[in-house]
Amino acid sequence: MNTEATAGVNPEELHAFFDDELPADRADAIERMLAEDSDLGAEHEQLGLMRGTLRASLEAEAEAVPQARFEQVWDEIDRAIERDARLQAEADRSPSVWARVWAAFKPLRLPALAAAGAAAVTLAVISTDSEDPNKTPAVASVDETSDAKPAAPAPAPSEAETPEPTRLADANPGGQATPPEPEIAPMPVPESSEAEIHEIDFGGKNGRISNTGTVTVLYVEDVEATSSERSL
Amino acid sequence: MIHARKKLLASALAAVLMPAAALATVAVPTAAHAAEEADCQLTAVHALKKGDGTIPKSLDFLADQLKDDEFAAYKSFKLIERKALKLKRDTASEARFSTGNRIGLTLLGNEGSRLKLHADIRSRNGETKLLAADYSIANGGVLLVRAGELEHDGETGKLFFAIQCSGKV
């Protein structure tokens, strides 16, 4: 039987008190009522029991979910965040005038490059023809002010005076600058590597197939397969 | 006069079309050539959640795949090992990796320009079956398989295998 005090507390208010959501003065009043009214006290205790039961059941369910599941979920979340950030960054980046002009001339790039290449080859041929075939690049580095005797006939180049043609090569010692080639040369990959899976067995473990249109990835999970509905 | 012109036109048309038809008859069976052999490359990749996002030169050939959203959670990739296999139709070939994993591949044939393959991946103890799959893929296409967690060079990440095969189809 409810006392006068109990009658003054409706269920919503009792729930709010239970969740610490009432103003301090009202909470104090209800606390006094709880001490005086056994029915109200029992109702309050019931709420505590319900919360305990619910928490225990959720914790048990969470325990049953393997760590790999959580990791998989976090991976998905990470991927979604990365994707969103990238899309946002791309959206924020407005193309500059030069970028637009460059894009507009896209169809002309290849012919222009070919023409430039041909022009460069022609220039190289012309400049080679106009030079003294015996002139070496090292002559340019000779200091003409020191001991220069222009009137004297040019001496035959002795071994000591002849510039070393290998000097350029010395400036770039071999083996250090170029990374070692991989033993197996990679094959070209087609634009789309989407695979069609006809039959698959994950060896008794959980697994999933992901197809993005660019690539197909098969995920073999680290845990044994379960019959849980939460299996992804 | 008109009749004679029509006859001439028909003869000319036949002269043009007959060799084309003959060529097509010869060419069609050649196009449907069955794949008897394939060259495959198997690459073990360590995917890490730390790094600056650059893909090393040794994995350039996988750049499009590794830049896909599917790998957005990983910040760096390292080449662990690369193996080559030559496949003959219906004959299993196997490669063994330094991680302990073994990968068996069999060329099952082709579906037009796509190769049909069977892949069998064993765990790092070399015995437990991780995966057995029959699949078809574009000639030269890459199938990626995530084969669990791996600690390599003091770093913990995920182990991926890239399986790529190319045959005459």
What pLDDT digit, counting tens, does each position of B52-83 carry? 888 999 999 999 999 888 898 899 999 999 99
- Contact: A83, B145; criterion CB under 8 Å: no
The confidence score (pLDDT) of residue B13 equals 54
- Contact: B64, A189; criterion CB under 8 Å: yes
* DSSP one-letter string for A78-146: HHHHHHHHHHHHHHH-PPPHHHHHHHHTHHHHHHHHHHHHHHHHHHHHHHHHHS-TT--GGGGGS-TTS
The confidence score (pLDDT) of residue A134 equals 41
Whether B115 shows a pLDDT value over 90: the answer reads yes
pLDDT along chain A (232 residues), means of 10: 58 90 92 90 91 90 71 80 84 74 77 82 66 42 42 43 38 42 74 88 87 88 53 41
A203 closest CB neighbour out of B72, B114, B130: B130
Chain B residue with minimum CA distance to A72: B73
- Contact: A83, B72; criterion CB under 8 Å: yes
Res. B14 pLDDT band, cuts 50 70 90:
low
Alpha-carbon distance values, B143 to B20, B83, B160 (Å): 39, 15, 10
- Contact: B58, A207; criterion CB under 8 Å: no
B144 closest CB neighbour out of A78, A201, A215: A215
What does the alpha-carbon distance between residue B165 and residue B139 come to, in Å, rounded to a whole number? Answer: 7
State the average pLDDT over residues B5-15: 59
Mutate to test the interface with A, among B137, B149, B156, B169 (most CBs of A within 10 A): B137
Q: Are A18 and A8 in contact (CB under 8 A)?
A: no
The confidence score (pLDDT) of residue A197 equals 94
What does the alpha-carbon distance between residue A57 and residue B169 come to, in Å, rounded to a whole number? Answer: 58
The confidence score (pLDDT) of residue B28 equals 44
State the average pLDDT over residues B8-12: 59
Q: Other C-beta atoms within 10 Å of B65: how many?
A: 25
Whether B167 shows a pLDDT value over 60: the answer reads yes
Which DSSP helix (H) or strand (E) runs through A11? helix A11-18
Alpha-carbon distance values, A2 to A7, A18, A36, A49, A124 (Å): 6, 19, 11, 21, 107
- Contact: A217, B129; criterion CB under 8 Å: no
- Contact: A201, B145; criterion CB under 8 Å: no
Q: Which tokens go with B8?
A: 């001439």
Q: Which tokens go with A28?
A: 């104090």
- Contact: B137, A200; criterion CB under 8 Å: no
The confidence score (pLDDT) of residue B138 equals 93
Burial of A215 (0-12, 13-18, 19+ CB in 10 A): buried
What does the alpha-carbon distance between residue B141 and residue A9 come to, in Å, rounded to a whole number? Answer: 71
Chain A residue with minimum CA distance to B65: A215
**pTM of this structure:** 0.51
The confidence score (pLDDT) of residue A215 equals 86
Burial of B134 (0-12, 13-18, 19+ CB in 10 A): middle
CA distance B32 to chain A (A): 20
